[in-house]
Amino acid sequence: MKASGKTLYPVKKIEAGKAKIQALMESNEVLGEVAEIVSEVSAEELSAMIAKKKELDSAGITADQQFITLGQMFVNAMEKQ
């Protein structure tokens, strides 16, 4: 819509945009926390976890079992630090 040279946007569209921005900001905060935690684990250990995840995916292991296995690997890596 245009009115006197200005573009007007529907309120719903603006509110939806604000909600998306808020979600992205929250996501970035979480990613920052994850990055801080992961930075304490060596690259070799992260690489081993990624390889293990691929191995578990191809073996047909359930998501719950994968979570437990990878979680244990992560805890062990954190304890080494």
The predicted model scores a pTM of 0.55
- CA-based nearest residue to 53, from 32, 77, 74: 74
What's the pLDDT score for residue 55?
92
Taking only the tens of pLDDT, the chain with its 81 residues reads 445 667 777 878 888 888 898 888 888 888 888 888 888 888 888 888 889 999 998 998 899 999 999 999 988 888 887
The whole-number pLDDT of residue 4 equals 62
